[in-house]
């Protein structure tokens, strides 16, 4: 019973986030056709951020109104891999800017692989989740 209450609380907290998730212009959803661009990195570096030339804020988000939607047939369409522009930066003065973009895109692509694994896990275990 305690586990059920905990799961309901967690799922409810995601619901509020999901209502504005897809409409937020600060997020770049992963796409096969859209690659990251310099303009996607909107945070300006400061001295105390060290010598890191590129930083991506990557996350996985959920969009659903009930737990049944998360584990239903459309679960793949309700779990998203995204980058948040306002907290990601890239050093535009670096001579290897194109390389830094490729590194960032590779990180984003790797996260998509794990997002797909999560979707698969949820799909395969949906009867145990509910």
For 44-89, write each residue's pLDDT tens digit: 776 655 677 888 888 888 776 665 555 566 656 678 889 999 999 8
The percent of residues above 90 in pLDDT, for the chain, comes to: 32
Bridge partners of 80?
Answer: 61
| Position 9 confidence tier, pLDDT thresholds 50, 70, 90 | very low
Between 34 and 8, the more confident residue is 34
What is the pTM assigned to this prediction? 0.74
- DSSP structure class, residue 76: G
Kind of pairing, strands 79-84 and 89-90? Answer: unpaired
Mean pLDDT of 109-113: 95
For residue 65, the 8-state DSSP code is: S
Confirm if 48 and 91 have CB atoms less than 8 A apart.
no
For residue 93, pLDDT over 70 is answered with yes
Residue 17 Rama label (left phi>0; alpha psi -120 to 50; beta): alpha
């Amino acid at each position: 019973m305690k586990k059920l209450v905990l799961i309901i609380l967690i799922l409810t907290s995601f619901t509020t986030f999901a209502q504005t998730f897809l409409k937020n212009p600060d997020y770049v959803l992963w796409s096969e056709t859209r690659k990251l661009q310099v303009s996607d990195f909107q945070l300006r570096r400061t001295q105390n951020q060290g010598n890191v030339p590129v930083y991506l804020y990557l996350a996985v988000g959920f969009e659903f109104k009930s737990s049944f939607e998360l584990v239903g047939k459309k679960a793949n369409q309700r779990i998203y891999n995204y980058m948040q522009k306002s907290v990601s930066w890239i050093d535009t003065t670096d001579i290897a800017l194109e390389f830094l973009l490729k590194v960032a895109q590779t990180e984003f692509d790797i996260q998509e692989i794990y997002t797909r694994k999560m979707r698969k896990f949820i799909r395969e275990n949906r009867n145990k989740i509910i």
